Amino acid sequence: MRLPRYLSTAALLAALALPRLAWAQGFEGTIESRAASLDQEALMYLLGPAGEGEEFDATGIFDLSIAEIIQAAPELGDVEIEALIYHFKGTVMRVDGGIEEEMPGYAILDFGAGSFSLVNPAERLVLEMTREDFEQMKEILGEEEMAEPRTAPQVRPLGRTKQISGMRCVAFEIRSEEETIIAWVTKDLSDLVEVFRELESRMRSMGMFAEDDEGTEVFMLLADHGFPVVQQTLTRYPWGEYSYDISAVISVERRRLADDMFAIPEGYERRSILEMMRMLGREN
């Protein structure tokens, strides 16, 4: 049995173009997102003549919207498409969608209690981790090796603006050795930036991601300029191939949400994710 990838915070949140979310204390409502991941073959198909030959200019992919990529997905072969909906209320976040291959249902993260739950209505089952479980997991996994110090990438304004999902967005570029990131950020959602920064801090305190995580670094760099609405990452590997990831916020709706959306249903069987990991360890 393979543990759900929702246990990985990076996988959980990548589709938001915000690699690390933050505390939703001041925001109640729903954020909907889409994400797509393309390999070299898909890029060559989408770029047409520019994708011919051993060397091609893959930067043309930045001109395509996520809607255009999703529309072409049936012809692109092995393309990963995700649709995630995030609901915030008080100290709790619920995430719907994107986990059908691993476990149908939804995830609930209660940052007040420090707990994480995967709810499967079809099987009336809940997989969960408590704050204590997270602490034990860190002890089991041991201290991670310290990452080698490296120069933080720089954010460069591109001097371009456009409307995305009804919001005025400004483009920024972040470059590293292998990656070029184009991010479109908006001041229209500046109140959410502090919300997301706070939850990022809460996640760190729960041990839910490594402090040297590159995604966290990118979000924090962008947060100084606004709320990332679209994030496009083109990676060129040392052997010459490309891959591409795009994630976009489709809609943001501030509204009152019912408490029972965030409650664990009564009568469901509850299993500990930590105990499942221990059982897998004994079997291996």
pLDDT for the residue numbered 150: 56
Residue 242: its H or E element: strand 242-254
Residue 13: its H or E element: helix 9-13
| Residue 103 to residues 31, 33, 139, 281, Cα–Cα distance (Å) | 21, 19, 27, 21
Tell me the whole-structure pTM to 2 decimals. Answer: 0.76
pLDDT for the residue numbered 23: 43
- CB-based contact 231:186 (threshold 8 Å): no
DSSP state of 130: -
Alpha-carbon distance 149 to 136, whole Å?
A: 28
pLDDT for the residue numbered 159: 95
Alpha-carbon distance 53 to 186, whole Å?
A: 38
- CB-based contact 273:129 (threshold 8 Å): yes
> What is 18-85 written as a DSSP string?
-SS----TT--EEEEEEEEEE-HHHHHHHHGGGG-SSS--GGGGGGS-HHHHHHHGGGSSS-EEEEEE
- Catalogue the long-range contacts made by 131-138 (C-beta closer than 8 Å, 24 or more residues apart): 131/206, 133/272, 133/273, 133/274, 134/206, 134/207, 134/208, 135/207, 136/274, 137/207, 137/274, 137/277, 138/207
Look up the domain containing 131 and give its range: 5-283
pLDDT for the residue numbered 125: 92
Total count of domains within the chain: 1
Report the chain's terminal Cα–Cα distance, integer Å: 11
Written as tens digits, the pLDDT of the chain (284 aa) is: 223 333 344 334 333 333 334 444 467 889 898 989 999 889 988 887 654 555 678 899 999 999 999 999 888 877 888 888 889 888 788 989 865 555 578 989 887 777 888 899 989 999 888 877 777 766 666 544 444 555 667 899 999 999 998 889 999 999 988 899 999 999 887 767 766 666 566 555 555 544 444 556 676 778 788 888 999 999 999 988 899 999 999 888 989 999 999 998 999 999 888 787 777 666 55
